Amino acid sequence: MNITLVLYVVGHVLCYEAVLMLLPIGVALLTGVNDWIYFVYTIVPLLLTGLLLRSRKPKVTKMQTRDGLAAVAFAWIFLAAFGALPFYFSGYFNGYVDCFFETVSGFTTTGATILTDIEGLHNGGLMFWRSFTHWIGGMGILVFVLAFLPNMDGSNVQLLKAESPGPTPGKMVPRLKETARILYLIYFGLTIAHILCLVAAKMPLYDSVIHAMGSAGTGGFSNMNASVGAYHNPAAEWIIAIFMMLFGVNFSVYYLLLKKQVRDVFKNGELRLYLGIIVGSVVFITLNIAQKYYDGSWSDAIRSAFFQVSSIMTTTGYSTTDFNLWPTLSKMIIVTLMIVGACAGSTGGGVKVSRVLVLFKSIKQEIRHLIHPRMISSPRMDGKVIEKGIIKGILIFFFTYIMIAIVAMLVISVDGYDIETTITAVLSALGNIGPGLGAVGPMGNFAGFSQLSKVVLSFCMLAGRLELFPMLILFVPSAWKKSC
């Protein structure tokens, strides 16, 4: 591993994080909430560390795959470690581990919280920073840095591959920096549109910004204890639900729309399956809850079902009702959506719709081979043959995902929570979802877990956001050997 190169990249990330912290300082001054000083305390050591790490330019700038994986993993760990300091200096949180958990949850767009009184944080700089971490982490801090990072012998793409959610990330245009800029322009444009729609729905401007950043990053931090349900605003619920769904779409689809390649959008198999799962889930849940929980009000049932499905499918985590109280069928659908997640190349988490689609096509192909052993054919997606290497990688990903989940469940089970809470807490963290069931349901939180469990869950959140392997490579001794 080229440690100098890895630290050089991390140094750039920390410097940009210091610059980004100027925004919550401005918000604190505008809102009159006196919490700007906590960011000043953080920016000084953050900037010094960043400048120190990037001061030593590596002699070898060609980045190998393991260098890219390690750089992304370290960047996100350092990002969260320093990002937690404003919370720690505020004294509002119960120790640094809680601050780190909350910040990791923010940057990984998980939305799991340890706060029992969110509104006590007040609508100032700290509350803004808490949700701003969603917006930063949603598209990926390395994607942002790639727009400005010096070109390292054309190997910057290793960072994009290591950070981008999905099995086959790639460039939209030949120039990587241009790809990063296009992604952020789309991201920024959708976020502004979301804010304007919420303001039009008579949600306060500050609250609109908070919830738009949470929807954009598919994170789910709200500034209200009861989340979106606290507003009792059906228009805002529809707007947030629709935008959550939009941010769960692969961003390459929006690029195709900008290029007016509408036909290619409709041919996208992942998009069709994603929308199909949402529609199907909404229909089944609506039929399951309308009579008993909404007194036959189909409009309320549909709105509630669509909001919760959109929130969980995209791994955002906002809520308008306590789905803990729903029938078993509806809760099983919710848990299934937790695992599946959003589209590859979106800001959402989970195992990704594209992986599920590839596995289904592979199973179908295997069954056809059993029936017709002499048949020679390969599974296809969007008219292209799915390479065996991609299928193998997805199978390895699924097995690794399951193993991490099992180990994490065993560790946090020591805390003595019921099975429903234990299982969904891990699935929530690993899938970057936020709420689970039981004690960690939409009206609950993660405050009751032990310090060890919070560290384990923080690792799960980072592993889930970074597609597992950037975090796992840190535990492989051979990866630390000097690059040839």
Cα-based distances in Å from 253 to 160, 180, 214, 385: 18, 15, 21, 20
Q: Is 133 annotated as a binding residue?
A: no
Closest CA to 54 of 127, 150, 137, 123: 150
Q: Is 109 annotated as a binding residue?
A: yes
Closest CA to 431 of 390, 473, 401, 469: 401
Cα dihedral 459/90/219/345 (nearest 10): -60
Q: Which two tokens stand for residue 197?
A: 């729609």
User: How distant is the alpha carbon of residue 475 from its chain centre?
Assistant: 23
Q: Is 316 annotated as a binding residue?
A: yes
* Contacts of the segment 115-120: beta carbons below 8 A, 24+ positions apart: 115/445, 115/447, 116/445, 116/447, 117/225, 118/222, 118/223, 118/224, 118/225, 119/223, 119/224, 119/225, 120/92
Q: Is 123 annotated as a binding residue?
A: no
Q: Which two tokens stand for residue 106?
A: 């923010």
Query: CA end-to-end span of the chain, whole Å?
Result: 8
Q: Is 110 annotated as a binding residue?
A: yes
Cα-based distances in Å from 362 to 77, 115, 187, 377: 36, 43, 33, 11
Q: For the residues of 4-68, what is the DSSP string, one character each?
A: HHHHHHHHHHHHHHHHHTHHHHHHHHHHT-S-THHHHHHHHHHHHHHHHHHHS--S--PPPHHHH
Cα-based distances in Å from 436 to 158, 305, 465: 33, 16, 17
Q: Which two tokens stand for residue 167?
A: 């099995």
Closest CA to 421 of 439, 408, 402: 439
Annotated binding site: 109-110, 219, 315-316, 432
Annotated binding site for K(+): 109-110, 219, 315-316, 432
